Amino acid sequence: MLSLSIENLVVRVPDLQQPVLVIDRLDVPSGQHLAVTGGSGSGKSTLLNIVSGLERVRQGRVLWNGSDIAPLSESGRDRWRAQNVGLVMQDFHLFAGLTALANVLLPARLAGAADAATVARAQDLLARVGLARPSQRVETMSRGEMQRVAIARALLRQPGVIVADEPTASLDVESGAAVGDLLLEVATETGSTLIVASHDPRLIERLDRRLALAAGRIVTDSAAAEVAA
């Protein structure tokens, strides 16, 4: 659905002399499943935040299907992300007091984009991720179930790319595996590009391509290794 090209990207943070992320060139074809690995502090989340438009690009270009998101304004990036990116986070970020269904619909509702079709789709998605009770309040759910709600929310607006930052890190092995399976399945079903930052080897090894970061630089890229080999 969406292909990504990064050119001459440098990300700095105020307190650090060294940039936290430097990527001269990275191309991710549409529909690819990419794993971003690396130690803590290596820049995985930074990369994901840049490509999803959460963080402003100050130096370099980040092109999705050929169009640069760097010049977009704050609100412009918000709009673009709402339409194109499905986000899944380690901490779920569900809203207590609301039902599973309401949580799935919340961003769309706040954006004024929740019509009857969207509501129906939300219900289908909850069924798809294996949740039988859309009206259950999220705070009463298990962590594995919560992450399923988060995945359903990420898929609601049919994003061209699913960006998941350590989606299994706060889950036990069993539900982590189930969530990993689910992510791969839905990405395959929808044809979405999938970018997952993870420490979880069982999840990483099942993705098309693995990118290893260290100190903000790409140290290994399985795709490049294959080409070289």
Ligand X SMILES: Nc1ncnc2c1ncn2[C@@H]1O[C@H](COP(=O)(O)OP(=O)(O)OP(=O)(O)O)[C@@H](O)[C@H]1O
The nearest distance, CB 196 to ligand X, in angstroms, is 12
Structure tokens at 145: 């179930």
Backbone angles phi, psi at 193, to 5 degrees: -70, 145
Give the C-alpha separation, 145 to 194, whole Å: 21
* Cα distance between residue 213 and residue 1, in whole Å: 25
Element (H, E) at 18: none
DSSP H helical ranges for the chain:
44-51, 74-84, 100-110, 116-128, 143-155, 173-190, 201-204, 222-228
Q: Which residues face 87 on adjacent strands? A: 163
**180 is a site residue for ligand X (CB under 6 A):** no
Contact call for residue 54 and another protein (CB under 8 A): yes
**Site pattern 37..76 for ligand X (x: CB under 6 A):** -x-xxxxxxx------------------------------
Number of Cβ atoms within 10 Å of the Cβ of 83: 13
Q: Is 45 in the site for Mg ion (CB under 5 A)?
A: yes
In whole angstroms, the minimum distance from the beta carbon of 48 to Mg ion comes to: 8
68 is a site residue for another protein (CB under 8 A): no
Q: Of the candidates 25, 95, 188, 191, which one interacts with another protein according to CB under 8 A? A: 95
State how beta strands 67-68 and 33-38 pair. Answer: unpaired
Closest to 195 (Cα-Cα) out of 22, 37, 7: 37
CB of 77 to another protein, least distance (A): 9
Which residues in 136-155 contact another protein (CB under 8 A)?
Answer: 153-154
| Contacts to another protein from residues 99-128, by CB under 8 A | 102, 106-111
Binding characters for ligand X, 22-41, by CB under 6 A (x = yes): ----------------x-xx
What does the binding site for ligand X look like in residue numbers (CB under 6 A)?
13, 15-16, 20, 38, 40-46
What does the binding site for another protein look like in residue numbers (CB under 8 A)?
45, 49, 52, 54-55, 74-75, 78-79, 81-83, 87, 89, 91, 93, 95-98, 102, 106-111, 153-154, 157
